[in-house]
Amino acid sequence: RHAWLYRTEGIFNNAFPWTQFSVWHTFSSDIWYGFHFLLIPLTFFSNLLLGVKISAVVFSSATLFIFYLILKRHRIIQPLFWTLFLFVSTPDFLFRISMSRPQTITLLLLIILISLLTKPASTKKKCLLFIFLIATAISWVHIVLFWAAILIAVVIAAVRFLRERVIQWKEFLAIIAGILTGWLLRPNPFGALKILWVQIF
């Protein structure tokens, strides 16, 4: 319904009249902005429930498929087994990945980010651009989980420094720049920042 409102009333609509007693109404911002934006094509179905069910299948299938491809990229033995294992690993994961929620897309993007940080693309500039775009997408789709990209970058950078005495500062800056860009690519980004504070702290 939120995506439908963006389609029918404009993608910059942030009035939130249906949440009179919520921080979303108070600060007039959508922390799932990118997710709701991506759902807009599925609001053309006459039944919005059908659209949201299709989105759940599409997002979860894409996440598992990309996970499989990344396992193959890193030459992990039995990538199909590990993909299926991830899918049924815990009841909570199975429940959440089967829902139409931004966490599914964020998981997909974080998996790609890990791959880029541990096995860079063919050229440094190309890799930094991809890292920037992935970080932008993470922040744009679901800003609440921006910290996961930073945590992943810090852990991988620490391991690389201990093993190779190399500091991945360009990659870290690309992630920070991407997060800031994704935050700004939404109506009322400062309202989103206030909601983010409420959500996390």
Per-residue confidence (pLDDT) for residue 164, from 0 to 100:
85
Q: Which segments of the chain does DSSP mark as H helices, in order?
A: 2-9, 23-27, 33-39, 48-73, 79-87, 91-97, 102-118, 124-141, 146-164, 169-184, 189-200
| pLDDT tens for each residue of 76-133 | 999 999 999 988 888 888 888 888 999 999 999 999 999 999 887 667 778 899 999 9
CA angle 38, 40, 46 (to 5 degrees): 140
CB 153 within 8 A of CB 117: yes
Per-residue confidence (pLDDT) for residue 138, from 0 to 100: 97
Instruction: For residue range 38-60, list pLDDT tens digits in order.
Output: 999 999 988 999 999 999 999 99
Q: What pLDDT sits at residue 92?
A: 87
17 has a pLDDT exceeding 80: no
